[in-house]
Chain A
Amino acid sequence: MTRKTFLASGLLDPRGLIFLAILTAAAIAVPVFSLLVPENSAFALPPYLVGLFGKYLCYALLAVALDLVWGYCGILSLGHGAFFALGGYAMGMYLMRQIGPRGVYANPLLPDFMVFLNMKDLPVTWWGFQHFPYAMLMVLVVPGLLAFCFGWLAFRSRVTGVYLSIITQAMTYALLLAFFRNDMGFGGNNGLTDFKDILGFNIQSPSTRVWLFVATAIALGAGYLIARAVVTSKFGKVVIAIRDAESRTRFLGYRVEIYKLAVFVLSAMMAGVAGALYVPQVGIINPGEFAPTNSIEAVIWVAVGGRGTLVGAALGAILVNWGKSTFTNILPEYWLFALGALFVLVTLFMPKGIIGTLDQIKARRARARRGVEPAQAPAGE
């Protein structure tokens, strides 16, 4: 009976099952209500909502990625938006090259903005992006490589805490400035847009949007499972140990910087995938995605949902963004104040976030039921 709790607390806990079940239900319901139910029916799901939900799920995947480094490894990254945006740019470059001669200048090779800037040849950075598999590889490799170089330098020099947070913020800000420049060859401040199709399907058509939503749901589910597999492994236990007592872990003989680097790179790749799914659904990627505020918002989602819970991070991302959509409809100017207030309130009254607070209540009840007895094996769960 105790065997089960030994060495692995199990890949899927009840909460994870509920999360995946809801995700599956959404992945089935959205196509049904959007494509099969007649358009004039009261149950029909308008295409803009499909796009909106898809966007939420991209944010949820970003939040899960951030929770992996922040919630489990204690690395408060204030630059995760950069990895998201880089993944987005890689996808955007593929989509740009799919436009081909249908652009305004009808150049079969160069995207419009390059013709406009009098560029003669396709920059090396754009080579190969007409191939979907190559572009998808870059969605993983580019954020992963940046995270690797950044993390290798930062973690080896034992930069931690606030200092690390500040340089992650500086990293995304530097990228923001770089991508604004026309001579970077990524469309300057207009970014990449006017996409026509993805894998041969019209990017505007309702059915493509639905399948993009389904793909995002699958990516979120897979991202969650990968993150969960990592944190429930012995590797994950080491990572949590690093979060709670870094030097102790080092004295046990673990190479803390390698562990941090591995988690950081994995997380950056997940963020890249989220960005890549985001771009075709919103139809544009521009340097604004590197804005430091985006990364900070992502931190707030995770804090609201409950860090170190994965499901909480996803939940927080969806709730806060749903709140944002609603709020900006009513009082658009005040959203940032509301977000700030939300963060302050959560920090003061629910430091463990929604899911963490639920856990605390559950634990308190369980303790009350057992009386003052010492906690025994939770093997039955």
Chain B
Amino acid sequence: MDHQVVTSTLLYLDGVSVTFDGYKALRGLSLTLAPGEMRAIIGPNGAGKTTMMDVITGKTKPDEGDVFFNGSEDLTKLDEATIAELGIGRKFQKPTVFECHTVEDNVLLALKAPRSAFATLFGRPAPGTRERIDQILETTRLHDHRFRMAADLSHGQKQWLEIGMLLAQDPKLLLVDEPVAGMTDAETAQTAELLRAIAVDHSVVVVEHDMTFVRDLGVKVTVLHEGSVLAEGPLDQVSADPRVIEVYLGR
């Protein structure tokens, strides 16, 4: 079971089910993601998008089903920190940056480096750390805000900082939960641009409600509904699918 299934896919979910107090958040969800792919996940509220993220990052253990990363890592058996170290980074729906730290320190904490208490207490920063931070702040347009407290940033800037922190982790797979919620149109467009730039050398899964934004991304779309996949394909194709229209407009 373990190895034959998944050698070429980066992320492999098969028949994943999660139940909370009798409520089926996920029912037999199956999804695969190729290395280097960017995928948009859409779906109405309660479709299981966030639960799916929780399962992949180890926050929630599925009742049944397989979750494999990188061919052979069984994510259902690992905890959050281990999964993060394997190379899965997550951006939350609500921006959660470290408010009492400067923008620079936020990126520093996320930067790929030894995570052990001993290393952070006695270790010296690796050469090139500063350059790497510079680069990330440049990409996320936060260079001028380097020494500001994260708490003082605008909503959009916090979202970018969090994306910057994801970049700093240099994960193989980025999970991005509703990156443009609450953003202005200009910020939304800039975010799409930022994610496309990131997708050049990372695999990305974006969960989003905003259809304009999903169109801007221009990638394959997976529609979730009531905990399983309803349709998959280019946005134009899925949005023409009568079942998808039913789910989105039928209620």
Contacts and interface: CB of A to CB of B under 8 A. Distances in A.
Interface of A: 2, 5-7, 230, 233-235, 237-238, 240-241, 243-245, 247-256, 258-259, 262, 374-379
Contacts of A262: 117, 121
Contacts of B89: 251
A5 B123 CA distance: 17
Contacts of B148: 374-375
A7 B108 contact: yes
Contact of B98 (A2, A5, A240, A259): A240
A258 B123 contact: no
Contact of B121 (A5, A235, A375, A377): A235
A274 B148 CA distance: 37
A377 B99 contact: no
B37 interface: no
Contacts of B81: 250, 253-256
B120 A252 contact: no
A376 B89 CA distance: 30
A245 B84 contact: no
B165 interface: yes
A233 B123 CA distance: 9
Interface in B99-113: 99-101, 104-105, 108-110
Q: Pick the most buried of A230, A249, A258: most chain B CB atoms within 10 A of its CB.
A: A249
Contact of B96 (A235, A248, A254): A248
A238 B120 CA distance: 8
Q: Pick the most buried of B80, B97, B148: most chain A CB atoms within 10 A of its CB.
A: B80
A241 B101 contact: yes
18 contacts: A5-B147, A7-B129, A234-B120, A234-B123, A234-B125, A237-B108, A238-B120, A240-B101, A244-B100, A247-B59, A248-B98, A252-B109, A252-B110, A253-B81, A374-B148, A375-B147, A375-B148, A375-B149
A5 B99 CA distance: 18
A307 to B, nearest CB: 12
Contact of A7 (B90, B97, B125): B125
A163 to B, nearest CB: 20
Contacts of B84: 250-253
Interface string B73-93: 000000011001100011010
Given A234-B108, A243-B100, A258-B116, 5 more contacts: A2-B146, A233-B121, A234-B125, A237-B108, A238-B120
Contacts of B109: 234, 237-238, 241, 249, 252
B17 interface: no
A185 to B, nearest CB: 36
B152 interface: yes
Nearest to A229: B121
Nearest to B82: A253
Given A6-B130, A245-B96, A253-B115, A374 B146 contact: no
B222 interface: no
Contacts of A5: 147
Nearest to A308: B100
B51 interface: no
B141 interface: no
B92 to A, nearest CB: 7
A251 B116 CA distance: 14
Contacts of B147: 2, 5, 375-379
Nearest to A254: B115
B169 interface: yes
B85 A235 contact: no
A7 B108 CA distance: 8
Given A251-B57, A253-B85, A230 B100 contact: no
Contacts of A230: 121
